Structure 1
Amino acid sequence: MGISGGKDSAALAIYLRDKHPELDIEYYFSDTGKELDETYELISNLENYLGKTITRLEAAPDSPEDSFDHFVKVYGGYLPSSSARWCTKKLKLEPFEQFVGNDPVVSYVGIRGDEDREGYISRKPNIQSIFPFRRNIWSEDVIQKVLQADALPRLSSHYRELSDPAQHSRLLPLVDAPLSRGFSQTQKLNALLDADVRLFNRVVFAFLRDTAYPLAQAAEFSLLDNDENLVRADIFHLLRKSGVGVPAYYEKITFEVDGKKGEYARSRSGCFFCFFQQKIEWVWLYEQHPKKFALAQAYEKDGYTWMEESLNDLIKPERIRRIKLDALAKQQKNSFSTSAYLLDVLDDEEEVGCASCFI
């Protein structure tokens, strides 16, 4: 399991330790060298709770510089961006894939049940992703194989074998129904999950026996009985109840602009200069972590910037005022929310970006 320093991966580690202590999970953290101090504090707290060391992975362990600075030089000062995410590839994914090598691996991923995204799926055939927080624990590639047209006879056979005959009249017409324009893969998946999540999991597990997926080698898998669907509020509850705590950068801080009060915080883990940050998060960094902001500024040279405007321009007083007013307007627009969490009031920008960095 990868620990990003974010709330979801930390909560997943807690959840699986408590609910599935029989799983001997190996934890890792891909360290870019550019995380906030709160990230390292969370990892230390989590190690204490789990009773295990979280292995630190470095993308350039033999370099005299930290991993990010090493690759900035390799790329000639070219900074990563949403259209050129070399940081994700070089600092997160490649170290993980080198770490696991060619061993069969089940990778547990902390994407929640209220998120509409798939997350990282390795192209290496020896790595299989599982999503315990979702009602559908299987990755998109597995679902495609199970529900594709030429797999229908096998799917039907497994359902007949594993289900109670009393269920056949209700289940089998649904199982045997082919995909069409009026009955998409998503619709069929949801219908099968609605009918019986645990049965669907057992069918998929049986289906995998004839594939090269790592779980094809497993005699059993305890998450087959997992039918929960955890959402954001559950994540905060797990972190607080465990004593591990919510990373401090998620906690809201009050700001004032033109005599009005608003709130800001960080919506994600990852590098302190992440280009996926909202403008108000850059202002948060400038005001709450000025030394980190200055370090981010220092990278902007030779025409390379973190976004469409430079950080020098972003911190001009009138620009900060405008960014805060825009953020305040968004918060007021969504003031009908009954959530106690700032992240439920802000635009859900945490879902923008690479799951490998932020979950």
Structure 2
Amino acid sequence: MSDSETRHIIAISGGKDSSALAIYLREPNRWQKHLGKTEAEPREPLEDVEFVFCDTGTELEETYEYLDRLETKLGKPIERLQADSPPGKTPFDHYLELYGGFLPSANMRWCTRNLKIKPFENYIGDDPVINYVGIRADEDREGYISTKDNITSVFPFREDGLVKEDIYRILEDSGMGRPEYYDWRSRSGCYFCFFQRRSEWVGLKENHPEFFEKAKEYEKVDEETGESFTWSDTESLDELEDPERIEEIKERAEQRRERLKQNMSNRSLMSLYFEDEVRDLEDDGKGCNICHL
């Protein structure tokens, strides 16, 4: 099959890495020179590329706003993909019903499989595809790797030696900036993602109280067994929002920031995004790779 029949796709998560990748691959040689990546192999600009975003229907408002801005920057639409769901229901609510009201968890990530991966693979079909993934050279993870034979994943940032500071530089110098939710959250994804740290749940309550209340409505107790279904294994959102508990969470988060600040090197660009950097360092590496690139 000829190269012209191969589709080139970048899955955008609404996060910094995949957004920077989309910008980078439009003018890779200019960015290589700008970033001082003199040892990187020259790349042909990606002209005939498709941008896609898998929308669960439960993303943050800031994510949708950032995607709109990114479309303008790229000069090309980002295809919004959604899992099938009945009219009036978000894809998440539809699948929550199919799974008997059982909330997704680290041990049962039905949300990733049904709301992110399936729509993406259905969109691709059986066409040969090169899937460009925004994993950096300073990361020890693989990202989304499809089991379908027709999808080949490549990692331009890793191949060209780009690290986190380069990503910030691309976003800053392109005029794109980073998503506003990084003011209080470390990653893109659903507003109620169970991988959120407690400090991020507090951030959700303070920045989007209406979403926090919606997240609370999903939690329930089985009247027959007394078993609790909550986003966190150790406490409900009702318990977490107690004022004393919130102060405790904030105090511990501040202590972590101070410890991490002492360990950070004095990098001028990173200082602009200190909170982003701290949250990344706090990150335990868990999460759904296709959601958080």
Same fold (TM over 0.5): yes
Residues 1:242 and 2:167 aligned together: no
Q: Cα deviations across residues 12-49 of structure 1 (Å, max 9, x unaligned)?
A: 00000122434411111100011111111111111111
279 and 22 in structure 1: CA distance in 2 versus 1, 3 angstrom threshold: closer
CA distance in 1, matches of 2:94, 2:172: 37
* Identical columns (%): 52
Q: Could you say which residue in structure 1 is the equivalent of 2:162?
A: 230
Using the alignment, how far apart are the partners of 1:242 and 1:291 within structure 2? 33
Question: Is 1:76–2:100 an aligned residue pair?
Answer: yes
Name 2:26's counterpart in structure 1. Answer: 17
Map residues 181-330 of structure 1 onto 2, 5 A cutoff. Answer: 228-251=160-183, 265-302=184-221, 303-308=228-233, 309-330=235-256
AA matched with 2:164:
R
Note if contact 2:130-2:152 (Cα within 8 Å) is conserved in structure 1. yes
Offset at residue 331 of structure 1 (A): 0.9
The AA in structure 2 aligned to 1:275 is: F
5 Å-filtered alignment, 1:331-342, equals: 331-336=257-262, 337=264, 338=266, 339-340=270-271, 341-342=274-275
| CA deviation profile, 1:68-95 (whole Å, cap 9, x unmatched) | 1111111111111111100000000011
Match of 1:33 in 2: 57
Pairwise CA distance, 1:59: 0.5
> What one-letter code is carried by the residue in structure 1 that aligns with 2:165?
A
Q: 1:73 to 1:61 in 2, by over 3 A?
A: closer
User: Is 1:358 the equivalent of 2:292?
Assistant: yes
1:62 positional shift: 4.7
Structure having the higher Rg: 1
Letter aligned with residue 269 of structure 1: S
Q: SS where residue 55 of structure 1 aligns?
A: strand
The unaligned stretches of length 5 or more in structure 2 are 1-9, 29-43, 222-227
* Runs of 5+ unmatched residues, structure 1: 136-227, 252-264
Give the length in aligned residue pairs: 254
Structure 2 partner of 1:183: none
Q: Deviations over 1:240-273 (max 9, x none)?
A: 222222100113xxxxxxxxxxxxx200000011
**Secondary structure, aligned partner of 2:59:** coil
Residues 86 and 94 of structure 2 are in contact (CA less than 8 Å); yes or no, is this contact kept in structure 1? no
Q: CA deviation at 1:351?
A: 3.2
- TM-score normalised by L of structure 1: 0.68
Structure 2 Cα separation of the partners of residues 97 and 64 of structure 1:
24
In the alignment, is residue 343 of structure 1 matched against residue 276 of structure 2?
Answer: yes
Q: CA deviation at 1:61?
A: 4.8
Supply the RMSD in Å over aligned alpha carbons. 1.4
Aligned mates of 1:288, 1:34 — CA distance in 2: 15
AA aligned to 2:236 is S
Does the 8 Å contact 1:268/1:350 carry over to 2? no
Matched, 1:91 2:112: no
Deviations 1:155-198 (A, max 9, x none): xxxxxxxxxxxxxxxxxxxxxxxxxxxxxxxxxxxxxxxxxxxx
Give 2:232's aligned amino acid. Answer: M
What is the rounded CA distance, in whole Å, between the counterparts of 1:324 and 1:87 in structure 2?
A: 29
The two structures have a TM-score, normalised by structure 2, of 0.83
2:12 is equivalent to residue 3 of structure 1: yes
Secondary structure of the corresponding residue to residue 345 of structure 1: helix
Once residues 124 and 278 of structure 2 are traced to their aligned partners in structure 1, the CA distance between those partners, rounded to angstroms, is: 39
Q: Specify whether residues 61 and 244 from structure 1 end up closer, same or farther in structure 2 by C-alpha distance, changes over 3 A only.
A: farther
Name the SS of the counterpart of 2:80 in structure 1: strand
2:89 alignment counterpart: 65
C-alpha contact (below 8 Å) 2:85/2:94 kept by paired residues: no
Q: What secondary structure sits across from 1:28 in the alignment?
A: strand
With over 3 angstroms needed to count, the CA separation of the structure-2 counterparts of 1:61 and 1:51, relative to structure 1, is: farther
Corresponding residue SS for 1:14 = helix
Are residue 103 (structure 1) and residue 112 (structure 2) matched?
A: no
